[in-house]
Structure 1
Amino acid sequence: MQQSTPPVHPLRRLAQYAHAYRGRVLLTTLYSILNKLFDLAPPVLIGMAVDVVVSQEDSLLARFGIVDVTDQLIGVGLITAILWGFESLFDYLKAVGWRNLAQDIQHTLRLATYDHTQRLDMAYFEEQSTGGLMSVLNDDVNQLERFLDVGANEIIQLITTIVVVLGMFLVAAPSVTWLTVVPIPFIVYGSLKFQQRLAPRYAAVREQVGILNSFLSNNLSGIATVKSYTAEEYEVGRAAAESDQYRRRNAAAIRLSSAFVPIIRIFIMGGFIAIMVFGGILVINGRLNVGVYSVLVFMTQRLLWPLTRLGDTLDLYQRAMASTGRIFRLLDTQPRVIEGHSTLPRPVRGEVVFQNVSFRYQWRDYEGYSDNRPHVLNDLSLHIPAGSTAAIVGPTGSGKTTVIKLLLRFYDVGSGHIRLDGRDIRDLSFADLRGAIGLVSQDVFLFHGSVRDNIAYGTFDASLDAIVDAARTAEAHDFIMALPDGYDTIVGERGQKLSGGQRQRISIARAVLKNPPVLILDEATSSVDNETEAAIQRSMERIARGRTMIVIAHRLSTVRRADRIFVLDNGELREAGAHDELAAAQDGIYAALWRVQTGER
């Protein structure tokens, strides 16, 4: 039996993204260490001051030639000013360094995740919610930034504190060092146990964040439906249920993480009391200098007390690792539609051939993907000559739109072949295949921006003259000029400031500007009025010259001038021919549809 490869810990994978910044990481780590070294100086300075006051001419500074007590105290003050200045400098440098590193690593990881997400196939997006993906791309990446901004520095400074303070104890008072060391193993062990128990709780929190974001995103997208059915109270109730689940999952993590500090404080108290009592006994017995004793008491506090911060640091760490795990699970998702590497011969003519194509959508359940769903297309063969206009019609659910999705390779055929200019589209690169095809969908998507930007989308270097020419061809120029700012008018999110017909004609202008050898109109007139339909039909006649046109339509009046009409029913080709030929057939599917739409008996 083949052994499965154990999953790589998210922290190790995160280190791969930080590798490009290793020089800055090392430098910023040095800033953190130096900041902590100078931060540990005050207890030493206090010990020196106590030594001067108690020992006077016999103090440590007196051995360096500074005999006068006043001069010794002034010297301690000058040293304090210098060390505090360095501590402040390195505090600034490490803060700037870690924050900028957090921003840069976050930026790199977000772009890598977004780029990978865009390259996944359409099936993935149909199975995932937009809100869930947004929670990964935004919330989870931001959670990681919080840990890099604060947690990494605290871990480095804690290690520095332990090494430096224990070193001082071993040099100054080796006989009492063990009193300080004893609590540390208990604290570390307790931290690790808390970490193990916190991990699944924070994973559950991050999953619920995705569910909540998905719910809110979906409802805001459908706000018109919510309002039209006066369902605001109902939706608030649903939001309350999801938010309450998020609150309860967070509460479970909070109860555990909040218990960490009180428990650790007990061990810290034991170590602090031990060094204070036993160290004091050594001073009374003359075995330990009172100044050194002062330093040791303060250093014990500086060593053990930061360990209480370990709880907060572990809290940040576990949140970050839960988020990082979700990010890398997304990055590990591989597309099922694999890009080819071949190119089309130039110039592209636009001949499209479907040869014995069968296809069915896969159903995803808890055990993975299954092929239990019926075929949408069955042994479909079509031939659309280059430069011709072909129409694909049929009842709802006959497979018309699936034909277009397969031609664009949003999905791969189950069996058979699709060829463009004689090349199997599975062998072509996406840029070559989709660059040769323009799509005007029934569900027009306009980006938040100007009319000009939306027409030029995909042809980003187009001149204004070329944009205007494309708009004239699509019969969109006149209404665009009537807008408040003409081509610079902002269309709003998804083009909501424009009517359906206006959005449709801008979409056609976008496809015209791309000037593809193959142009697909998928139900381009399904949601427009008769006047707009007439304008779109006039546009189609101009656009069709010199290119292959594929028109998907319910309104048969839109396709009556097509060179060839293919009639689909239940995923199979039932009829093919010109309009007059098909409409004349007494028992044909097309003829029946034509009679229904024209009112003929």
Structure 2
Amino acid sequence: MRGERSGQRRSDAATRAQGTMGDQRSRADGWKALADLAGLVRRSHAPQLSLRLSSAIGLTLGGKALGVLAPLVLGAAVNRLAAGQGAAAAVGWGFAAFAIGWALVRFLSSAAPQLSDVIFAPVRAAAQRTAATETFAHALDLSLDFHQTKRSGTLSRTMDRGSRAVDFLLRILAFNLIPTGVELVLAAAVLAGRYDWRFGAVAVAVVGVYAALTFALSNWRLEHRRVMNAADSEAAGVSVDALLNYETVKAFGAETRAAGAYDRALGEYQQASLKANGSLMLLNAIQGLIMNLGLGVMAVMAGFEAAAGRMGPGDVAAAVLILISLYAPLNILGFAYREIRQSFIDMEEMMGVLRQSPQVADAADARPLDRPTNARGASLAFDGVGFRHDARANGLEDVSFFAPPGTTTALVGPSGAGKSTVVKLALRLLDPQAGRVLIDGRDVREVTQASLRSAVALVPQDVALFNDTIGHNIAFARPDASEADIWDSAEAAELADFIRALPDGMDTRVGERGLKLSGGERQRVGIARALLADPCILILDEATSALDSRTEAAIQKTLRKARQGRTTLVVAHRLSTVADADQILVLKAGRVIERGAHHELVARVGGEYAALWRKQTRAGGELQPAG
């Protein structure tokens, strides 16, 4: 038994220690969140920030002081009326004067916080805007690994909740809770100084018990809010995923399945919401009990004092009214505390995005990449490059090649060989884990990403378009391009005739992710966009895979013209599209196993490229897509 008691004591001590550490972490996180909030206000660049902040705080505190003064004025009016000495007219006029003064003071005490809110509103709005903009911009700066694992709906909801939390915290902390604490000190001082110290002690005790129980119950309720938030984010993620992949859902007849997943997420949210509402009712009942007990004790004490002749009727009313005026802001204390804690959580989630460091970032001494002075494009070299994805068993291993300026290099090989990884490394969407990627002899990690992306353009296999006009999507590569330049790039991509045939021409909207266009039309928009960028290095990642044979032949002819004066990196499964490349690299399992011109590789007995070529050709010369 002694051993059991000893073990129980150790367990209790460990539990208390864990609780203490949790409280310390919570306090540290709270101070950190306040520091983050202050930093956002400083960075908001709100107009007349210092003046607005000081004026708003002054008005709020002044309003609280007047709120404590108002019951005293009314108490004096009642005392004057109860005394009843002198002419009735004189008594009536005296009472009226005090009553009007009480009404005026109450009006000023209620108007001051409203005016304060109007003055401070631009600061809150600017801080909220800064928080949302900084998080959005930082999310766009984060590396490919972040965006490959995120859920768009969840990230959007995190940014939305975090920015709204900034507005709430500024409003509730600066102009509700802290001023309420000041009001409590003033009220206790007035009650103790004007009447008896016990009145001040009762006011402080009632508010202390009220606050302690409110905070304890609100902490208990926070778990329901966390579950509710998680379910809310899950529901948003499910719905956005289904809407973004509408065609896939439709193609597989999965509408009912997608709606069922959304319904299950909403069901979890509903259950958490019901628990949260039930615990809120319990909290409100306990708060009401404490408030009314406090008022009863204050009224009884004041009554005994009045019976003893130490207080007048007006003083009894004033003491009770002062406590009631304290209760008004306390009514929302539970809500305010819970929302403050939740807002801290929401803001911390948003700040967590801001604190993530991109794996691909500009070096401190990064310099812009100089464009070649001649019209031959830039050289591209891979020097012993190695890269392995976390989710893959194989990656690139010791990949080396050199693409001279103005030449075309093709990458071929089976799926999963590493071709797309080479493209991402050339664009510096990824950084090599071994070796170097060089453009014109400069390591891409030593140049700014902005200058690199302006020198390298990509036409991907699946072109992503914004839900905007065709003209906007083409001009996205170069927003300052003239209308003539946009039309020239459309002509070069064999897209101009299609655009002219549309009722709205360049102003035709392409829909979500360009789904109003066919796959071939989207690819031609992507080609036009890349050509408008006028890159030194052009990367074509299966850029004609979605086109029909006639259009593909026309586009290939156009791309041959576009490759002039540029270095081109082509990824292809259909070997006939790269037969004219200056060099062809055959990748397998992340390694370059063959390299050379088309005629050399075809003639190589037992070679991988020769086997692929034979697989894609028939006796009559008909080409088949690679498997």
TM-score by length of 1: 0.90
Which residue in 2 is equivalent to 1:368? none
CA separation in 2, counterparts of 1:98 and 1:271? 34
Matches within 5 A, 1:230-249: 230-249=253-272
Amino acid at match of 1:242: A
Of 454, 475, 486, the residue aligned with 2:473 is 454
Deviation of 1:483 (Å): 1.5
1:103-126 Cα distance to aligned partner (Å, 9 max, x none): 222111111111111111101111
Amino acid at match of 1:32: T
Matched, 1:375 2:394: yes
Matches within 5 A, 1:39-78: 39-40=67-68, 42-57=70-85, 68-78=90-100
CA separation in 1, counterparts of 2:600 and 2:465? 39
Which residue in 1 is equivalent to 2:379? 351
Amino acid at match of 2:93: D
Percent of pairs with identical residues = 32
Matched, 1:472 2:500: no
Kept after mapping to 1: 8 A contact 2:74/2:102: no
CA separation in 2, counterparts of 1:374 and 1:146? 47
Which residue in 2 is equivalent to 1:369? none
Kept after mapping to 1: 8 A contact 2:369/2:448: no
CA separation in 2, counterparts of 1:26 and 1:261? 34
Kept after mapping to 2: 8 A contact 1:187/1:267: yes
1:387-443 Cα distance to aligned partner (Å, 9 max, x none): 111111111111111100111121121212211111111222111222210111111
Matched, 1:221 2:244: yes
Q: Which deviates more from structure 2 when the two are superposed, residues 514-523 or residues 490-499?
A: 490-499
Amino acid at match of 1:592: A
CA separation in 2, counterparts of 1:163 and 1:594? 87
Matched, 1:250 2:273: yes
1:450-500 Cα distance to aligned partner (Å, 9 max, x none): 222111113111111111112112221111111221112222221122222
Matched, 1:32 2:60: yes
Deviation of 1:581 (Å): 2.4
Amino acid at match of 2:387: F
Which residue in 2 is equivalent to 1:577? 596
Which secondary structure does the structure 2 equivalent of 1:375 belong to?
Answer: coil
Matched, 1:125 2:125: no
CA separation in 2, counterparts of 1:226 and 1:531? 31
Matches within 5 A, 1:299-318: 299-318=322-341
Kept after mapping to 1: 8 A contact 2:457/2:538: yes
CA separation in 2, counterparts of 1:31 and 1:469? 62
Matched, 1:520 2:545: no
Which residue in 2 is equivalent to 1:138? 160
Which residue in 1 is equivalent to 2:217? 194
Which residue in 1 is equivalent to 2:583? 564
Deviation of 1:150 (Å): 4.7
Q: Which deviates more from structure 2 when the two are superposed, residues 477-486 or residues 232-241?
A: 232-241
Which residue in 1 is equivalent to 2:127? 105
Deviation of 1:198 (Å): 3.9
Of 17, 20, 37, the residue aligned with 1:14 is 37
Q: Which deviates more from structure 2 when the two are superposed, residues 24-33 or residues 437-446?
A: 24-33
Which residue in 2 is equivalent to 1:297? 320
Which residue in 2 is equivalent to 1:330? 353
Matches within 5 A, 1:526-537: 526-537=545-556
Which secondary structure does the structure 1 equivalent of 2:332 belong to?
Answer: helix
Change over 3 Å in CA distance of 1:300–1:344 after alignment to 2: closer
CA separation in 2, counterparts of 1:253 and 1:152? 27
1:567-601 Cα distance to aligned partner (Å, 9 max, x none): 11221112222222223334222222222323239
CA separation in 2, counterparts of 1:57 and 1:445? 88
Q: Which deviates more from structure 2 when the two are superposed, residues 167-176 or residues 431-440?
A: 167-176
Matched, 1:399 2:427: no
1:139-165 Cα distance to aligned partner (Å, 9 max, x none): 332344344445643213422331232
CA separation in 2, counterparts of 1:476 and 1:180? 78
CA RMSD of aligned residues (A): 2.5
Deviation of 1:169 (Å): 0.6
Q: Which runs of 5+ in 2 are unaligned?
A: 1-23, 621-627
CA separation in 1, counterparts of 2:78 and 2:232? 55
TM-score by length of 2: 0.87
1:286-326 Cα distance to aligned partner (Å, 9 max, x none): 11122122111111222235323211111211221121121
Deviation of 1:180 (Å): 2.4
Which secondary structure does the structure 1 equivalent of 2:35 belong to?
Answer: helix
CA separation in 2, counterparts of 1:288 and 1:398? 92
Q: Which deviates more from structure 2 when the two are superposed, residues 419-428 or residues 96-105?
A: 96-105
Q: Which deviates more from structure 2 when the two are superposed, residues 89-98 or residues 410-419?
A: 89-98
CA separation in 2, counterparts of 1:597 and 1:27? 78
CA separation in 2, counterparts of 1:511 and 1:491? 18
Which residue in 1 is equivalent to 2:16? none
CA separation in 1, counterparts of 2:330 and 2:415? 67
Change over 3 Å in CA distance of 1:176–1:378 after alignment to 2: closer
Which residue in 1 is equivalent to 2:566? 547
Amino acid at match of 1:31: L
CA separation in 2, counterparts of 1:175 and 1:581? 102
